Amino acid sequence: MGNLKVAGICGSLRGGSYNKKLLNCAGVIISEMGLEMVEVDLKVLNLPLFDADLEGKELPESVKKLKKSVEEAHAVIISSPEYNYSISGVLKNALDWLSRGGKNSLNSKIAVIMGTTPGPFGTVRGQNQLRQILACLNVIVLPQPQIMIPFAETAFSADGSLKDEKTALMLKRLLQSTLDPK
């Protein structure tokens, strides 16, 4: 398990993003497991909008970087906000690029998905859509436990950790059962 590579993707570009905080919590658990999560930062990558006209030519550098980072990883951790009952546009755009350009870079990968929102429903609707998209891309996602964290403004301590111990334990269980199944 020591050389399992994990790529982390946050579906929000916002400075102070709660979903980035949640991704960081996953990163801490992953490092405690003796693994390393490498973040694929969509803000830094600044991907162009998917355009099928660009596919036949040489892919944009940012797209090549995105696809390489994910292809080198065995597993992907996605933490995304829910936008209008779906996933964020930037995440959908990244997934569209990953699925195309000569190769589905996500084919046969395993993924952990999670999300948090200031609202009361914890990204449940967005995550259902994310599961459907990942099924199309032949990505394996465990059905449970599901990490959907409501009331994000009060969910994190000043050090960035999850305040609720049960939620933190559930996240640990999800990461362990996905990345280190025994």
Binding site for ligand FMN (CB under 6 A): 12, 14, 17-19, 81-85, 117-119, 121
Show the tokens assigned to 70: 């994910």
Instruction: Say how many CA atoms lie within 13 Å of 93 toward its Cβ.
Output: 18
Provide the H-helix boundaries in 42-164: 42-45, 52-55, 61-72, 89-99, 124-136
Min dist CB 62 to ligand FMN, Å, is 21
Show the tokens assigned to 148: 């959907």
DSSP-assigned states of every residue in 144-155 = SS-EEE--GGGT
Min dist CB 153 to ligand FMN, Å, is 8
Cα dist from 52 to 46, 68, 69, 136, whole Å:
18, 19, 21, 18
Min dist CB 23 to ligand FMN, Å, is 9
CA 112/CA 114 separation, integer angstroms: 7
Min dist CB 14 to ligand FMN, Å, is 4
Min dist CB 49 to ligand FMN, Å, is 16
* Residue 38 vs 85, nearer CB to ligand FMN: 85
